[in-house]
Amino acid sequence: MLAALSCALPNATLLAQTAYRYRDASGQWVFTDRAAKASAPGDTFSLGHEGGALHLAVERTDTDESTQLTAINDCLCVVTFQVAIVQSDFATIPGGARYTATLAPGTRQSLVRVAATEKEKPVLRFAWKAALGSPAAVHNPPRPYRVPFAVGSTYPISQAYPVRMTHTTAESQYAVDIALPDGTPVYAAREGTVINVRHDAFLTGTSPVMLDQANVIEILHDDGTIALYAHLHWDSIRVRIGARVERGQYIADSGNTGFTSGPHLHFAVVRNAGAENVSVPVQFAGIGGVGVTPATQMPLTAY
């Protein structure tokens, strides 16, 4: 699998960059700012931090009778998988074929199964991607999002749509970067269920090798959309997988972890667009609960 992951850099002097992560033929992780060649992906890839709670995978299984590709969804939300065949020795699984399946939480499903061939290890190379949340999700918040820091505080927005200095992917297009100092308490912008956390990273930098070093919280909303809080402080997360959090609940501290040039909070709400997650526009609650559209360099106050 080849996963394209976006980064959020608050410094407006830096150029936009998309980074890539994949396993090479020997199974080693490769982090790069260049897309891999089609032959590079291995047979299996797990999305997310190794050993973490969010485990999504497409696995190949060979028996005397058949070869099978199986999608595995160990997430607490619905997930859509899409697999593309890169190279194949199986006549019934031609190169270029695509297989898509939407799995319920905690399930696995066979994507394709074919009778075994006479070859000892027939070639079957594939790439895959996954979109979290139900493809039927419609962004429908009951009110504007709570500003995710302490009431009465004001911090500047360092990047918001339509500026796309580093928010260059569909998943980050409508993300909001808030210039919170390291260690600033972060509060849930909307109620929901925690589906993923990463809390043990403490490294930072602008090299693609930092891609999997960001501490994050992902919260599933009742309408099927998912909020992402990223670059959190090391070991500061105060919620667990499966927990129900309320709007305004203290969930973590802001930080400077992962692929970033400085301390900030990267906040985005995404939905499953069928084969990928795309971000959606958000408004924050202003005075009297009136919606405020975030804009780059705008002072943002929590009410």
What pLDDT, in 10s, does the model give residues 29-56? 444 444 444 433 433 333 333 334 578 9
Q: Is-cis flag, bond preceding 94, omega within 30?
A: no
Name the DSSP letter for residue 89: S
Look up the CATH number of domain 2-132. Answer: 2.60.40
What stretch(es) of the chain map to CATH 2.70.70.10? 154-301
Q: What is the mean pLDDT of the chain?
A: 82
Mode of pairing for the β-strands spanning 215-220 and 192-198: antiparallel
Between 294 and 27, the more confident residue is 294
How far apart, in Å, are the Cα atoms of 191 and each of 144, 180, 218? 12, 21, 12
What stretch(es) of the chain map to CATH 2.60.40? 2-132
User: Which residues touch 203 (CB under 8 Å, ≥6 apart)?
Assistant: 210, 213, 257, 258
Give the pLDDT confidence score for residue 39 in this predicted structure. Answer: 36
* 258-291 confidence digits (pLDDT tens): 657 678 999 999 999 988 999 999 999 999 999 9
**Position 118 confidence tier, pLDDT thresholds 50, 70, 90:** confident
CA distance 232 to 263: 9
154-301: CATH topology is Glucose Permease (Domain IIA) (2.70.70)
DSSP string, 251-271: EEEBB--EE-SS-BEEEEEEE
CA distance 159 to 163: 6
Q: Does an H or E element contain 68, and which? A: strand 66-73
